[in-house]
Amino acid sequence: MSLTNGEKTVSVTGLVDSGNLLKDPFSGKPVIVLSEKISNELFGDDAADLCCAFCGAAVPERYKEKIRAIPMKTVGGESLLVGMNIDGISVGGKKCSAIIALSGDELSADCIVPAELL
């Protein structure tokens, strides 16, 4: 799987999770959750501020139109993930339409991919 943001493209290993039912509430697109490591690779020094966009962090101007609030419910409670449109997502060599969500946590893989993208 590859993710492109501007001039940065990273290859990632995704964990397919049939329980990942996250959707962008505006477009209905599925959401791929990125680990902290991959968020940092794609967004560099801006990653930490972007992860905290709904906690009062200053969001760089170039990302303000790309940010989406992704509501998330787990057994532990409810929260908002910071979703983002990026320039390109390819799964298995095939372009796909999805939103990425930045995580400030390390995950068991580079990203968590909804099964519907396969």
Expressed as residue numbers, the domain containing 64 is 2-117
Instruction: Please report the sign of the dihedral spanned by the C-alpha atoms of residue 63, residue 83, residue 92, residue 41.
Output: positive
Which H or E element spans position 36?
helix 36-43
Count up the domains in the chain and report the number.
1
pLDDT at 73: 86
Domain CATH number, residue 24: 2.40.70
How many residues can be counted in the chain?
118
The first and second tokens of residue 68, run together, are 């989406």
pLDDT at 105: 84
Average per-residue pLDDT for the chain: 92
Percent of the chain scoring above 70 in pLDDT: 100
Q: Is the pLDDT score of 106 beyond 90?
A: no
Q: Is the pLDDT score of 83 beyond 90?
A: yes
pLDDT at 8: 94
pLDDT, tens only, 20-75: 999 999 999 999 999 999 999 999 999 988 988 888 888 888 888 889 999 998 88
Q: Are 103 and 90 in contact (CB under 8 A)?
A: no
With a CB cutoff of 8 Å and minimum separation 6, the contacts of 59 are 49, 50, 53, 67
Q: By mean pLDDT, which of 1-5, 19-23, 63-67, 80-84 is the weakest?
A: 63-67
Sequence-ordered strand ranges (E) for the chain: 2-5, 8-11, 14-17, 31-34, 67-74, 77-84, 88-91, 94-95, 99-102, 111-114
Place of tokens 């966009």: 53
Instruction: Please report the sign of the dihedral spanned by the C-alpha atoms of residue 110, residue 115, residue 117, residue 118.
Output: positive
Tally of CB atoms within 10 A around 80:
14
Q: Are 107 and 17 in contact (CB under 8 A)?
A: no
